[in-house]
Structure 1
Amino acid sequence: MKNTDIRALSLEELKEQIKAEQTNGQTLRFAHAISPLENPVRLKHSRKNIARLKTELTRRENEQATQTAK
């Protein structure tokens, strides 16, 4: 997912996407532990997508906290 796609998501969609990516990442790790994946780079992409999603979530939460404090 690109950052522009992530920014277009609503807060609920963002949380759902994080859960989906975490589940996908966990499945990939389990599959890789049993037998090597054909493309192990997918693990790296999964981790990075989760990080991007969490970063956007944190940014929005901080933005809301700042607006509430004003």
Structure 2
Amino acid sequence: MNIEEVRSKTDSELDYELANMKKELFDLRFRSATETTANPSRIKVLRRSIARVNTVLHERATGLRGQQPKS
């Protein structure tokens, strides 16, 4: 998920996506510790996506950047 997609979503959608990504990351980490994973780079992608969502949520909460469309 790139930053434009993240910024175009509402806070409730981002909260839902964040919860799903955290659950998937937990499952992948657990599986990678016990067995081999089919796509180990997915962990890196999920971590970065979670960071993007957290960044946008923090920007909105502090008022640094809101739901402003890019012009």
What is the TM-score of this pair, normalised by structure 2?
Answer: 0.84
Which position in structure 2 is the counterpart of 1:37? 37
Give the secondary structure class of the aligned counterpart of 2:36. Answer: coil
CA–CA separation in structure 2 for the residues paired with 1:48 and 1:36:
21
CA–CA separation in structure 1 for the residues paired with 2:63 and 2:16:
20
Which position in structure 2 is the counterpart of 1:7? 7
CA–CA separation in structure 1 for the residues paired with 2:38 and 2:9:
31
CA–CA separation in structure 2 for the residues paired with 1:21 and 1:44:
12
Q: Any gaps of 5 or more consecutive residues in structure 1?
A: 65-70
CA–CA separation in structure 2 for the residues paired with 1:39 and 1:12:
29
The share of aligned pairs that are identical, in percent, is: 30
* CA displacement 1:12-31 (0-9 Å, x = unmatched): 11111111100010011111
Q: 4+ runs of 1 displaced by more than 3 Å?
A: none
Which position in structure 1 is the counterpart of 2:68? none
Which residue type is aligned with residue 13 of structure 1?
E
| C-alpha deviation, 1:42, in angstroms | 0.5
What is the TM-score of this pair, normalised by structure 1?
Answer: 0.86
| C-alpha deviation, 1:38, in angstroms | 2.1
Aligned length: 64
Give the secondary structure class of the aligned counterpart of 1:36. Answer: coil
